[in-house]
Amino acid sequence: MSGNKEESEVEVKSVFIGAGCNRVVNNVSWGASDLVSFGAQNAVAIFCPKTAQILTTLPGHKASVNCTHWIPSTKFAFKAKQLDRHYLLSGDTDGAIILWELTLAGKKWRQVLQLPQSHKKGVTCITGIMVSETDAIFASTSSDGTVYVWELVLTSAGGECKLSCLETLFVGSKPMVALSLAELPGNSGHMVLAMGGLDNKVHLYCGERTGKFVHACDLKAHTDWIRSLDFSLPICNDEANSILLVSSSQDKGIRIWKMTLRGSLTNNQGTYRKEEISLASYIEGPVLVAGSSSYQISLESLLIGHEDWVYSVEWQPPSITSVEETTYHQPQSILSASMDKTMMIWQPERKTGIWMNVVTVGELSHSALGFYGGHWSPDGNAILAHGYGGAFHLWKNVGVDVDHWQPQKVPSGHFAAVTDIAWARSGEYMVSVSLDQTTRIFAPWQNSASLTDKESWHEIARPQIHGHDINCVAIIQGKGNHRFVGGADEKVARVFEAPLSFLKTLNLATCQKSSFPENLQVDVQILGANMSALGLSQKPIYVNTVQETPERNGNDGLDTLESIPDAVPVVFTEPPIEDQLAYHTLWPESHKLYGHGNELFSLSCDHEGKLVASSCKAQSAMVAEIWLWQVGSWKAVGRLQAHSLTVTQMEFSRDDSMLLAVSRDRQFSVFTIKRTGTDDVSYQLLARQEAHKRIIWSCSWNPFGHQFATGSRDKTVKIWAVEQESSVKQMMTLPQFSSSVTALSWVGIDRQSNHGLLAVGMENGLIELWSLTINKSAAATLAVRFDTSLCHVSSVNRLSWRNPEKSEECRRMQLASCGADQCVRVFDVITK
């Protein structure tokens, strides 16, 4: 896992990945492997629904991932029992499609190939079927108006996959956004491809296994864009002469079409009609001709129930009916997901055959803002939705005799670039902020119930949901309640304080190892916080007023769409799910810090918890000044002028006697900070110099002394030392890196020899650890280069060590990172 083999000084393992899902239709796929794939910015992420953990991210795409599709998908799970390898297709907004291979035995991934013919524009849908245990056919469509059909011959152990393009179809100026493939029943060798899109029609193409797809007919009924199509397998084995196609559209309707082999239509039509004379007189549609066979298409049913666009429909995967696993049964059951925040399961009534909505989930959720897609688990006992907020929602049928669908834990994370992270003062949790306008808290949850006593990481709170992109965060060190300062694309910094509900949840998560014990929590009078209507200030909910429900006056009722539900802060005994995170875990805002003239860009707190430094976006020396705030009174106690452009990062030295700042103006500055009384702070510019040829993105102090590192867009990291006679001299420059250096974090390992590790994060997403020993001169060696499969796929925005003051005692440390790829990652770093 650690990358280069010859560098065995340090070993690196991935502990946790938190990431949100790209907010596009067709982005998620649940495979026969029982793993779920989704696009997270330019990476393909894989999560395990059983553990609610993201297992890995696959680097390879150079643009945002739009769609993923497993081969075999859940529909063919009954055919996949013997397979030792599963395959995954992923398409991006540049039109590239990559094929990945998962070896089940070792859970090993590899990139097999990138499809040779790429679409000119973004891929919008990929669908595939298994025609035999070693043969798959898949199709892809794109905004460029083309549909490609491919054949993939899967390998036996050790060989390579064979890929061939069977057909290229041009669909004109109105692109197709939904595809489904099926083998025609009772007619071996012929296949049907259904496609739908912006012209409101379902187009059916017939073809042979060798290609030659020709347009057969159109189904016209929907009045808006077609969003999803799915063929069933033949409904039952003894009458395998018909298949069903389900289509959904932005006209809020779902239609089920039946395709029946013509030869058999007459035989059972008489008996069929007698039984259900009123309902069976369904609408005759066109005839589809495939080779020597023809199929009558008819509209079986129209399902009305959703109140907004229906983004996805999917047949329940077939279940195996015999012990030998040779026969399967296609359940008459359809899952639909809509922008109206609900997913529905539809099944025909036993007596009348009328399709009814039998299960509805999600309608109580205020957080979802609509679903982009819904998927069945391979066994049909769980359903997964992904929504507008980049979040997953999973329900499992836990009922014994009757259906009872219960929400389950899922992985979660930001759905836009993560800009900053900070560890709690004792490392119990990590706070991250993002351009998705949320602040989230991730923590290891001790599973006391499980036998292994293994901790697993989860999002345990969402302290801030804001109306602006959030750029920076700093956790207040020192004693007392947990507090943090956040800075967004606005001129004020906001201070937040942990409510009682969070403190009690944290105690449960850490098994009472919290740094703010129960006996101190008595003073906390705030239970939680409510969202304001504009989503800026969060108002406290006090402990003693919980029972009162505010009287709503008459006018409030009119504005139900825009009203925000009152939060119900509760103590969680297990990791919360999305609905709870979205409203009930907010922290109250205690102060606003006014002073800066532009949007906040960077924040830092000293190690004693007495001062906070802040900076904002700037293009002049006046605006670029650093403000110092006193923790507690929150008075501005200093305005430090040194730079002419945005200060990109600041850090206090370990003894809090100096403040280091680096800026877009390619200079760093070092200020001495002295506390002269209880309130007064004196400061003086000790040194300022141009350090790099390009913008300096990051800086970090040596925890054991007054040396520091700076990292820049010029791809270099330089080590500097503050001399006694109040000047700064350069000690060394590390060898040039492969990309801009965007993040640095220095941790001490041995004070005696002044030895430490410097984590270096780059714009290409890669992370390296350098071993530094500082004496009269500095010595540096590369300790480890993280394997690309562990790294980010876009710029690393921040690196931070957990509990750096304990690093000397233990060989196992943890490093957190966040990046533009929507991911928050935690690594175990084990020094040998």
> Helix, strand or coil for residue 69?
strand
Listing DSSP states for 691-715 in one string gives --SS-EEEEEE-TTSSEEEEEETTS
Tokens standing for 531? Answer: 């969202």
- Region 124-141: mean pLDDT is 91
Nearest in space to 388 (alpha carbons), one of 440, 337, 323? 337
- 191 touches 206 (CB < 8 A): yes
pLDDT tens for each residue of 240-265: 788 899 999 999 999 999 988 876 44
> Helix, strand or coil for residue 580?
helix
> Helix, strand or coil for residue 403?
coil
Distance CA 470, CA 467 (A): 9
Residues 6+ apart with CB under 8 A from 725: none
pLDDT value, residue 270: 37
Tokens standing for 330? Answer: 């296609």
Query: How many residues does this entry show for the chain?
Result: 832
Listing DSSP states for 91-104 in one string gives EETTS-EEEEEEET
Nearest in space to 245 (alpha carbons), one of 466, 293, 235? 235
For 444-466, b where at least 16 C-beta lie within 10 A, e where not — what string? bbbeeeeeeeebbbbbbbbbbbb
Q: DSSP label at 625?
A: P
Q: Please check the confidence at residue 568 and state whether its pLDDT lies above 90.
A: no
Distance CA 230, CA 334 (A): 10
Distance CA 28, CA 90 (A): 10
Q: Percentage of the chain surpassing pLDDT 70?
A: 88
pLDDT value, residue 160: 79
Distance CA 516, CA 504 (A): 10
> Which one of 35-39, 453-457, 518-522 scores highest in mean pLDDT?
35-39
Distance CA 179, CA 126 (A): 7
Q: Please check the confidence at residue 152 and state whether its pLDDT lies above 80.
A: yes
Q: Please check the confidence at residue 554 and state whether its pLDDT lies above 70.
A: no
Distance CA 76, CA 154 (A): 15
Alpha-helical segments (H) within 80-120 = none
- Decide which of 703 and 515 is more confident: 703
Bridge partners (DSSP) listed for residue 475: 484
Q: Give, in order, the Cα–Cα distances in Å from 89 to each of 175, 365, 373, 564.
A: 20, 32, 18, 40
pLDDT value, residue 520: 62
Beta-strand ranges (E) seen in 778-823 are 778-785, 796-801, 812-819
- Region 503-530: mean pLDDT is 74
Q: Please check the confidence at residue 187 and state whether its pLDDT lies above 80.
A: no
- Region 291-320: mean pLDDT is 90
Nearest in space to 440 (alpha carbons), one of 578, 296, 247? 578
Nearest in space to 2 (alpha carbons), one of 767, 588, 802? 767
Distance CA 831, CA 624 (A): 40
Say which range, 386-395, 674-683, 750-759, 804-813, has the weakest mean pLDDT: 804-813
Q: DSSP label at 607?
A: T
Distance CA 393, CA 365 (A): 10
Say which range, 51-60, 130-139, 326-335, 799-808, has the weakest mean pLDDT: 799-808
pLDDT value, residue 271: 35
- Region 662-668: mean pLDDT is 95
For residue 289, what pLDDT band results from cuts at 50, 70 and 90? Answer: confident
pLDDT value, residue 452: 45
Listing DSSP states for 172-183 in one string gives -SS-EEEEEEEE
- Region 14-41: mean pLDDT is 94
pLDDT value, residue 446: 80
> Helix, strand or coil for residue 373?
strand
- 538 touches 588 (CB < 8 A): yes
Distance CA 336, CA 344 (A): 5
Percentages helix, strand, coil for the chain, rounded to the nearest 5? Answer: 5, 50, 45
Q: Please check the confidence at residue 9 and state whether its pLDDT lies above 90.
A: no
pLDDT value, residue 561: 42
Q: Please check the confidence at residue 768 and state whether its pLDDT lies above 90.
A: yes
Residue 452 phi, psi dihedral angles, 5° rounding: -75, -20
The alpha carbon of residue 8 and the mean position of all alpha carbons in its chain are separated, in whole angstroms, by: 32
pLDDT value, residue 758: 95
> Helix, strand or coil for residue 716?
coil
Alpha-helical segments (H) within 242-317 = 262-275
Q: Give, in order, the Cα–Cα distances in Å from 173 to each of 127, 170, 248.
A: 21, 9, 21
pLDDT value, residue 549: 44
Residues 6+ apart with CB under 8 A from 407: 393, 394, 395, 577, 579
CB atoms within 10 A of CB 177: 21
For residue 3, what pLDDT band results from cuts at 50, 70 and 90? Answer: very low
- Region 782-805: mean pLDDT is 92
The greatest distance separating any two alpha carbons of the chain, rounded to the nearest whole angstrom, comes to: 104
State which H helix or E strand residue 314 sits in: strand 310-315
- Decide which of 46 and 775 is more confident: 46
pLDDT value, residue 664: 96
Say which range, 76-90, 322-336, 608-622, has the weakest mean pLDDT: 322-336
- Region 732-737: mean pLDDT is 94
Say which range, 17-21, 462-466, 575-579, 806-810, has the weakest mean pLDDT: 806-810
Q: Give, in order, the Cα–Cα distances in Å from 541 to each of 527, 545, 560, 566.
A: 6, 7, 22, 10
pLDDT value, residue 291: 78
- Decide which of 560 and 585 is more confident: 585
- Region 233-243: mean pLDDT is 70
- Region 573-578: mean pLDDT is 88
pLDDT value, residue 23: 92
pLDDT value, residue 267: 41
Distance CA 813, CA 714 (A): 30
Distance CA 683, CA 369 (A): 49
Average pLDDT over all residues of the chain: 86
What residue type is 760 in one-letter code?
V
pLDDT tens for each residue of 76-130: 888 877 788 899 999 999 999 999 999 988 889 999 889 887 789 999 999 999 8
pLDDT value, residue 5: 40
Listing DSSP states for 376-401 in one string gives E-TTSSEEEEEETTS-EEEEEE--SS
Cis peptide before 72 (omega within 30 of 0): yes
pLDDT value, residue 529: 81
- 15 touches 442 (CB < 8 A): no
pLDDT value, residue 104: 87
Residues 6+ apart with CB under 8 A from 106: none
- Region 21-35: mean pLDDT is 93
Say which range, 67-81, 233-247, 519-533, 652-666, has the weakest mean pLDDT: 519-533
Residue 506 phi, psi dihedral angles, 5° rounding: -65, -40
- Decide which of 797 and 724 is more confident: 797
pLDDT value, residue 6: 43
Distance CA 622, CA 147 (A): 57
Tokens 């609905």 found at: 579
pLDDT value, residue 563: 53
> Helix, strand or coil for residue 1?
coil
pLDDT value, residue 234: 79
pLDDT tens for each residue of 413-461: 999 999 999 999 889 999 999 999 999 999 998 865 543 456 789 999 9
